[in-house]
Copies of this chain bind each other. A is one copy, B any other.
Amino acid sequence: MPESMKCFVMRGIGRVGVMEKPVPRPGPFDAIVRTTAALICTSDTHTVAGAIGDRHDLTLGHEAVGVIHELGAAVVESGRFKIGQRVAVNAITPCYACDDCQRGFSSQCGGMLGGWKFANVKDGNMAEYFHVNNALANLAPIPDDLTDEQAAYCCDMLSTGFIAAEQGNIPIGGSVAVFAQGPVGLMATVGARLCGAGLVIGVESMPQRIALAKRYGCDEVIDHTKEDAVEAIRRITGGHGVDCAIEALGSPGTFAACVSATRPGGTISNVGYHGDGDSVPIPRLDWGVGMSDKTIRTALCPGGGERMARLMRLIRTARVDPLPMTTHRFAFKDIQRAFGMMQTKEDGMIKPLITFG
């Protein structure tokens, strides 16, 4: 067994690097996974930019799959998993025992955003091995008919994109606007169709993303650099606005536009990470002075093996194909170059796949 491993870490704000760390060991309810494939997430670039404060030598990454390398005693005893088994692990790894998990808000495990542990309060998984807490709840076996790359998309992109639609209270045949068609927005587009939307309007200006938005099911795409998105949405919906507007960017202006573009009684579903400012504004009049029956919801990527199995099933039964989002591929040795491109989104990068060993 190897005793040390290479990890891609945040050295401090604005600085990344590769370093050696000991291969982690499991507690009785934990597992250690040998990484085979991972995706870089824009949120890691936010973290490195300082969005959640400083971190020193914290391993980055939260979208990874691999094979089980070691299991804690209680996990072995359960008989549910075995060494060498292919598994995916969601970006969010709740304990599933605390009050918040029992309330049904496992992403808020133990407190606000507390289910988010990888590359936040513990080392992430952009490393040759990674540690999985509460393994019985968080390990998700990858079916034989799914590749590692496909499974890796379930860790965050499908889970986050889809929850935006699941929380959107979309009536069957209803209308949805998805603001921003990055990978989460693209999966929100797919999610909106999976949740019964009869009309999905994307808002996006980058040509490659517009093309993907149409491929993934947008009936129309508004280029907000060419026309006002709210006005365009009203025009398309006969003046009513949409039943649901999804914020997949994390910008105050986009959020406000979502409120304005939603019809009375509709839902604004936010999955964008709002990184700046003291407050995010609700436009008072378009909110009906607080009496419009509009609902604003928020979510953090839901985790857990049970959900992961459903997400992987949606790929297996051809409801969604995430692979067109992989615009670039790198070996782990080239992770720094890949990460740098993700910071700038150069070359139209949507998602870069990192392969190990």
Contacts and interface: CB of A to CB of B under 8 A. Distances in A.
Interface stretch (A13-21, A103-111, A341-349): A103-111
Interface string A275-305: 1111111111001111111111111100011
Contact of A300 (B173, B291, B298, B299): B291
Contact of A134 (B97, B297, B305): B97
A119 to B, nearest CB: 15
Given A199-B313, A280-B282, A290-B270, A264 B100 contact: yes
Contact of A314 (B173, B276, B284, B319): B173
A28 interface: yes
A112 interface: yes
Interface string A61-103: 0000000000000100000000000000000000011111111
A317 B264 contact: no
A341 to B, nearest CB: 25
A310 B198 CA distance: 7
Given A112-B264, A271-B290, A313 B107 contact: no
A interface, how many residues as a size bin?
A: 35 or more
A102 B28 contact: no
A291 B280 CA distance: 13
Contacts of A292: 108, 112-113, 298, 300
Contacts of A325: none
Contact of A299 (B196, B272, B293): B293
Nearest to A264: B108
A247 interface: yes
B271 A278 contact: no
B283 A281 contact: no
Contact of A278 (B111, B284, B311): B284
B283 A282 contact: no
A293 B97 contact: no
A24 interface: no
Nearest to A108: B264
A93 to B, nearest CB: 12
Contact of A298 (B96, B195, B291): B291
A308 to B, nearest CB: 10
A25 interface: no
17 contacts: A28-B74, A103-B306, A104-B265, A162-B172, A172-B310, A173-B310, A173-B311, A174-B310, A219-B317, A250-B289, A270-B291, A274-B289, A275-B289, A281-B282, A282-B282, A282-B296, A295-B296
